Structure 1
Amino acid sequence: MFSSTPDKLDKERLKKNKASLSDELTIWDGYVKQTGAYVAGKRFTMADAMFFPSFAFLVRMGLKLNPKYPHLARYYDDTRNRESVKKTWPPHWKGSEGKDILKDV
């Protein structure tokens, strides 16, 4: 039967998955630090077009970028403010709150 409250196993799995996500984000923060701009270099490329939507969803789910991931925070702000991203931002995200599921990653 489905339960709306997570059991101990679910909480342990969630904790492990958040730790894995944190490790992965640290790697991506390093990539952006190395390039000084985007995930694959100094210019916005298809790599960013593929990466950013998933990354923006993590932020929407409560991922706090500063101070733990400072280069990804800058990347998020810079990319989010691109005209093409503004035009394609999900309408239901505008003016609404996200979740706080990932606030502790």
Structure 2
Amino acid sequence: MSIFDRVVDRVADAIEDVAARARVPASIDFRNETNSSIIVVMDSDRESHTIAPHGQATFGQANVADAPTFYVKNESGVVIYSRRVGPIGAKGSYGWNGSTF
């Protein structure tokens, strides 16, 4: 490994360390624009909300620069859609229309 590669690795490690220590909370509003209840899960159960028809929930366990995956489930708990978003800012907003967000 060259000296350049070692320096780049150390800088990358330092940046990752600073980012891990400086977690800045993010707020993500998620709207259900359909006539059916849905369950929305962020990152394999980091946070989950059941959202009533035409309702809204706020996800607060994300951090700025995260790139979470959201899973939309029907009332039976079956995943009907998933999408990775991000990196996110301090505030975000998504709306489920029955086929995408």
**TM-score, normalising length from structure 1?**
0.30
Larger relative strand fraction: 2
Larger relative helix fraction: 1
